[in-house]
């Protein structure tokens, strides 16, 4: 397993993020190496959750997380870790 992103976040529009998650929708400002801006975590069907990026100054049209597979710490991908798990 890799550390895909690293940063901080702050709830937006609530002082009780646990209650917001329990209600099925949490808005947060994210300050990561890869992800930045306002994101919304929304409950879908059953245990399914969706992470959506709002259209803000940090949103990039066409940005695809599949094009950013490397760890922010090691620079390795999940496939590289699986192929050589003992390497640090």
* Domain membership flag for residue 1: no
Q: How far apart are CA 69 and CA 88, in angstroms?
A: 17
| SS3 of residue 20 by DSSP | helix
* Domain membership flag for residue 51: yes
How do residues 17-36 score in pLDDT, each as one tens digit? 999 999 999 999 999 999 99
Q: What's residue 86's pLDDT? A: 85
* Domain membership flag for residue 24: yes
* Domain membership flag for residue 11: yes
* Domain membership flag for residue 49: yes
* Domain membership flag for residue 88: no
Q: How far is CA 17 from the centre of its chain?
A: 16
Domain that holds residue 28: 7-83
- pLDDT beneath 50: ranges in the chain: none
Least Cα distance to 17 among 30, 4, 6, 36 occurs for 30
Q: How many domains does the chain have?
A: 1
* Domain membership flag for residue 2: no
| SS3 of residue 4 by DSSP | coil
Q: What's residue 87's pLDDT? A: 81
The model's pTM: 0.81
CB within 8 Å of 28: residues ≥ 6 apart: 9, 10, 11, 12, 17, 38, 39, 40, 41
């Amino acid at each position: 397993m890799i550390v895909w992103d690293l940063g901080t976040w702050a709830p937006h529009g609530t002082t009780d993020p646990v209650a917001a998650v329990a209600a099925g929708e949490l808005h947060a400002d994210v300050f990561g190496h890869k992800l930045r801006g306002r994101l919304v975590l929304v409950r879908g069907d059953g245990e399914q959750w969706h992470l959506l990026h709002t259209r803000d100054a940090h949103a990039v049209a066409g940005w695809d997380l599949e094009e950013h597979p490397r760890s922010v710490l090691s620079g390795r991908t999940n496939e590289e870790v699986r192929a050589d798990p003992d390497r640090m």
